[in-house]
Chains A and B, each alone.
Chain A
Amino acid sequence: MDINDFDHHTHIEGTTIFDGRMAMKGYGLNKMCFAFNRADMRDAFVADPEEFMDRYGLSEAQKIAVRAKDVLGMIAEGGNIYYLAKLAGIWKLSVQDVGAQQTGVTTEEFKQKLLDQAKPEGK
């Protein structure tokens, strides 16, 4: 087996490979978001986000991204989209809202981009 098979940092445009390196960076942020599976934890975050972020030991860079609801920023700081989705849920952002924010378009434009990828099916 080629040793390159073990390097997961192959460059794919606009894509962050969430591997051990990113997981080390993002553990506190992801753990906080995992807690949002519980309604009482969601309420606690909404009541006092700063206290909640401190409780999970978020870095300053992670806090800045969370305060700004900046999804690309959270990903850069090690956030994993499956956990971040729970935070987006608290903010009532749909996956299309999140997609639009990351790609710099409106939600309507993002939805249209999805529709534009349809092709006629021969079957």
Chain B
Amino acid sequence: MAKIIGGITTSHIPAVGNAIANNLQDDPYWKPFFDGYPKIHDWLAEKKPDVVINIYNDHGLGFFLDQMPTFAIGAAHEYKNEDEGWGIPQLDPFPGAPELSWHIIEGMVEDEFDITSCQELPVDHGFVVPMQLFWPGAPHNKDLPRAIPVSANTVIHPIPTLNRALNFGKSMRKAVQSWPEDITVVVLGTGGLSHQLDGERAGFINHDFDRMCMEKIVDTPEELTKITRMELVEKAGAQGTEFLMWMMMRGALGKKVKLLTENYHIPISNTGAGTMLLECMDD
């Protein structure tokens, strides 16, 4: 049976893609951020997961406001990183795992989570930057797992609640675990943490709130579901709502997890950047 072995969170700021493209990992501005990744590289090199479920939020490449799915799951053979209008250089396609994608979609809809299935899905920096951070050289990294992108809407309100996000992960876990092949799966929760790009409050970052979220998500994620969506906007910033992706990931990890490493740094671009590696402890 398929097994979810752990979850990894990271910010997915476009500037990180540029820093990677320009080899700025040891630059004084970037080093405190990139220092959060070697322990995760070691863990991935040891575990070599077969599949990565990459939970991110599309930023206006894969979806427009004409048709905006609240929860979308990729079911393609490959995912192309297309032109976003600016920013990071485009990469070769990422191989998918469409049979498992469809199994997850079947399982979750059966479980009354209504999913938008995507047989084509251009992926933006939200998907690509984490892949590059965790599998350097991606998609040309021999250990790169096959990928399943999952995108949740944080572009337009109403966005899902934190409770719904956590329950999404729980439902996804059930679906993955019922896959008959003996494969291992790692789940990424990408985006955040606090930041706001728009309005007179642009540049808002909230260290204490981010730290509280990083602490509680380990053992008491249910407590975070009490945060309302408007409170999330207020405390995490308008784009800090990307924390929803972290909650979706956390729900997929089961009850008990072990925190293996974490890093938090302000600022990367306009953002409080958080990284965590959580290993699943449930049987």
Contact = CB atoms under 8 A, between A and B. Distances in A.
**A joins B in a complex:** yes
A118 B270 CA distance: 11
A86 B158 contact: no
B267 A10 contact: no
B199 A75 contact: yes
A56 interface: no
Name which of B59, B64, B85, B267 has the most chain A CB atoms within 10 A of its CB. B85
Interface size on B, as a range, is 35 or more
Contacts of B270: 95-96, 99, 114
B156 A103 contact: no
Interface residues of B: mostly helix, strand, loop or mixed?
loop
A34 B203 contact: no
A8 B266 contact: no
Contacts of A15: 196, 198-199, 201, 233-234, 238
Contact of A8 (B59, B83, B230): B230
A19 interface: yes
A65 interface: no
A72 B197 CA distance: 11
A86 B198 contact: no
A90 B64 CA distance: 19
B157 interface: yes
Interface residues of A, number: 51
A52 interface: no
Given A86-B84, A95-B197, A12 B234 contact: yes
A123 B87 CA distance: 32
A39 interface: yes
Contacts of A102: 198-200, 202
Given A5-B228, A23-B156, A14 B234 contact: no
Given A71-B198, A81-B197, A98-B202, 5 more contacts: A20-B157, A38-B83, A85-B60, A114-B270, A117-B266
Interface of B: 15, 59-61, 64-66, 82-87, 155-158, 196-205, 207, 228-230, 233-234, 238-239, 262, 264-267, 269-270, 272
**Nearest 5 Cβ contacts at the A-B interface:** A89-B86, A14-B201, A14-B200, A86-B85, A81-B198
Interface of A: 5, 8, 10, 12-20, 23, 27, 30-31, 33-34, 36-39, 42, 71-72, 75, 80-86, 88-90, 95-96, 98-99, 102-103, 110, 113-115, 117-119, 121, 123
